[in-house]
Chains A and B, each alone.
Chain A
C-alpha cells in the first residue's frame, strides 16, 4: 500500500478555492510550543470547526545533527550521543550501538554482562512506560496520574543513579560490557520495587483504565489497521496494538531474552485503548523478566575489553537493531576502517510512529488528536536527531 505524504507547501496551497458560503477551512499551528506535542513538534492542522481535516507534522526544531557529529567521534563517544536521542530509553539506545560494534568486531561478552544489560533494558522500559502512563492521563486532562507516574519512575531512577551515577542520560552500556558493576544491594532494591509496583499497576488500572471517561475517549479512536501500521513502518507498542506480534525480544532474541519466559502483548483493533493496554501489559511483562533474572546474575567481569581500547570496525556496512520502549531502533554503520564511522544512521522508531498520526487523526477532533499523539508516545529529539 502506497502512502503519499504531502509537504507543507502542498497542503497550504491546496484548499485555496474561494468558498462563498458555508463554513470555511482554516489552518492552525499546533506547536512548536504546545503542552501536548511533548517537545518541539509542530503540527499544521487544516481544520473545519474542531474537526481535523489534515495534519502535517513539521520537523526539525530540535535537529542537532547527531548522526553527522557521529562521523567525527569515536564509536565509544557516539554511545554518549545516543543518550540524547531517545532520552527515555537511553540505555537501550546504548545497547543498539554496542551491539553493532560487538558484532562487527566479534567481541564475545559474558553472561553476567548480558544479564545486567537485559535487566537495565527492562528497567528502562518500565521507566519509560510509567512516565508515559502519567503523561497520557495528563493529555486527557487528569493531572493526578502524572505525579503518580513520576513518583514510581523516581524509585527506578534512583536505583539506576546508584549504579551508574546518572539519572537521565545514563550512558551505561558500552561496547564490550557495562560501564560500572552493579552494587551489592541492587537486587534487594529491585525486588522491593517489584513488590511495590505490582499492586500499584492494579491500582492505576482502577483509577485510569476503569474510568468511563478514559474509555470513551480512547475506544475506537484513532484506529490504525494492520496494513496501515505495516506500511507506515510503525514498530513497538503501536504496531503490536494493531495486531502484529512483532517484538525483537521474542523474534530475534538478544541479551538474555531468549532464556526468560514472557509473553508479547498484542492488541486487536489498533485504537488508542489498545495502545494503552499494550503498554500497561508490557509493564507487567517487564516486571516478570526482571524477576526471573534478578536472582541469578552469574558472577564474572562487567567489561570484557579495556575502557581505553581502540575500537575500529572492519570496512563495510554493519547493521543491528534492538527493541526500545518505543519500537525498533536500527543502527546502521558504514565503516571505512578508521576510528570513527564513515556514516552512521539511526532508524528511529519515533519517526515512523509519528507519521502514522497523519492517517489516524484525520477526520477526528482536536481532542482526539491529542489523545492519539499521546498514545503514540513520541520523544521528539529522537525524531529530529
Chain B
C-alpha cells in the first residue's frame, strides 16, 4: 500500500523555519496569484469543453476558427466580456447591483480552498473541511438574490426568488448525502475522507447506501449549479436571462465565471467524497495492475475523475429539458429529502454493525 504524506501550504507555513511576516505574505501572494491564474484556466477550459461537447451532441463542429481547433475562442470571449461597457438600469440599487457578482465569485473562490487536488496540493486543510465547503458554497445564493433584487426588474426578481427556493431546498439533500460519507469515514477532514478510501472508493464499498447518496448528491448539486434540467433561475425561454438579465460586461462575466468554477468545484467534491479523490483506481487482488496505477501521479487521477463528472454534467445539460418550479420543489421535498433521511439512518446502522467492507 502506498503511503501519502499530507502536506499543504498551511503546514508549510507553520513548519518553515523562517516564519517571519514577509514569508507568510509571499506565500499568501503566491497562493492568490496561483488561484487567480488557476480559476481562469479552469473556467476557460470548461467553456471550451462545454462548447465542443454540446457541438458534438448537436451534430455541429463548434468553435474552430479562433486558434487551433478553436482553442482561443474562450479567450476571445473573455476579452470581449472585459472590454464591454458595464451598464446598469436607471433605477437599480447601484451598490447592491455592483457587489452581487462579487458575492457569487467570492463564494465559489473561497470554497476552492479546501479541494484536495493531491496528497500535498491543497490550499488549506481544515479539520472541518467539508462542513466549511457546504457553508461557504451556499453563500453564492446571496449574490443571486441580491442581483435579482437590485436589478429593478420583475423578471430578474422572479429568477432570484426561484433560485432562493431551489437552493434552500436542495442544500438539505446535499448536506444529508455528505453526512452519509461523514458517518462512514468518521471525519469531516477532506484529506482523511480521501485516505479512508484507500481500500476502496465509497461508491463501491458502502453498499447501496452510498450509491443512493451519490445519486442524491449528484442531482442536488446539478440543481445547486443552476444547470439544466434545474436552470429555472435563468431559464432563458421563460425569464429572458433570469437574475443576470440586467448585467453586462465583466459583471456578467463574474456570474459566468462563478458558474463554471462551481461546476468544477462540485465535480471535485463529488470525486473527493465518492470516487476516491486523488487515489488511483485499484482492482482487488490484481497486484501488478494496481502497481501500474500507482505510477500515475495523484493529481492526474484527480483531474481524470473530475473531467468524467464534468462531462456527465455537460451531457445532461444538453439533453434534458427544464422542470417546472413546483415539480422541482416536489422532487426535493417529496422524494430526495425522505430518501436522504432514510439513507442516513441506514448508513448509521450499517456503520454500527460494520456491514460495510
Q: Show the binding face of A for B, using Cβ within 8 Å.
A: 26, 28, 34-36, 50, 137-144, 147-148, 151, 207-208, 211, 213-214, 216-217, 365-368, 370
Contacts and interface: CB of A to CB of B under 8 A. Distances in A.
Interface stretch (B41-49, B215-223, B235-243): B235-243
A142 B238 contact: no
Given A36-B237, A141-B231, A365-B325, A148 B319 contact: no
B60 A141 contact: no
Interface string B324-357: 1111000000000000000000000000000000
B240 A148 contact: no
A139 B326 CA distance: 17
B319 to A, nearest CB: 6
Nearest to A142: B321
B321 A137 contact: yes
Interface of B: 54, 57-60, 154-155, 158, 162, 228-229, 231-232, 235-240, 318-327
A214 B60 contact: no
Contacts of A36: 237-238
Contacts of B54: 143-144
A214 B235 CA distance: 15
B238 A370 contact: yes
Contacts of B239: 366
20 contacts: A50-B158, A50-B325, A137-B321, A138-B237, A141-B237, A141-B320, A141-B322, A142-B228, A142-B319, A143-B318, A144-B318, A148-B58, A213-B321, A214-B321, A216-B327, A217-B323, A217-B327, A367-B232, A367-B322, A367-B324
A138 B235 CA distance: 11
Contacts of B154: 26, 28
Q: Most chain-A CB neighbours within 10 Å: which of B59, B162, B237?
A: B237
Q: Most chain-B CB neighbours within 10 Å: which of A142, A151, A365?
A: A142
B240 to A, nearest CB: 7
- Which 10 A-B residue pairs are closest in the complex by CB-CB distance? A141-B322, A142-B321, A140-B321, A141-B321, A36-B237, A147-B58, A367-B324, A139-B237, A28-B154, A213-B321
B238 A367 contact: yes
Contacts of A207: 319
Given A141-B235, A213-B320, 17 more contacts: A28-B155, A139-B237, A140-B321, A141-B231, A143-B58, A144-B318, A144-B319, A148-B59, A211-B320, A213-B322, A213-B323, A216-B323, A216-B324, A217-B322, A367-B232, A370-B237, A370-B238
A33 to B, nearest CB: 8
Contacts of A140: 237, 321-322
B321 to A, nearest CB: 4
A147 B238 contact: no
A140 B322 CA distance: 6
Contacts of A151: 59
B158 A366 contact: yes
Contacts of A144: 54, 57-58, 318-319
Contacts of B326: 365
Contacts of B57: 144
Contacts of B237: 35-36, 138-141, 370
A144 B231 CA distance: 15
A20 B58 CA distance: 52
A242 B102 CA distance: 51
Contacts of B155: 28
Contacts of B322: 140-142, 213, 217, 367
A53 to B, nearest CB: 15
A28 B235 CA distance: 17
A141 B58 contact: no
Contacts of A365: 324-326
Nearest to B322: A141
A365 B229 CA distance: 17
Contacts of A214: 321
A127 to B, nearest CB: 19
B229 A213 contact: yes
Contacts of A366: 158, 238-239
Contacts of B231: 141
B59 A147 contact: yes
Contacts of A137: 321
A34 B325 contact: no
Contacts of B162: 50
A39 to B, nearest CB: 14
Nearest to A146: B58
B72 to A, nearest CB: 24
Q: Most chain-B CB neighbours within 10 Å: which of A142, A144, A367?
A: A367
B321 A217 contact: yes
Contacts of B318: 143-144
Nearest to B154: A28
Contacts of B327: 216-217
Contacts of A213: 229, 320-323
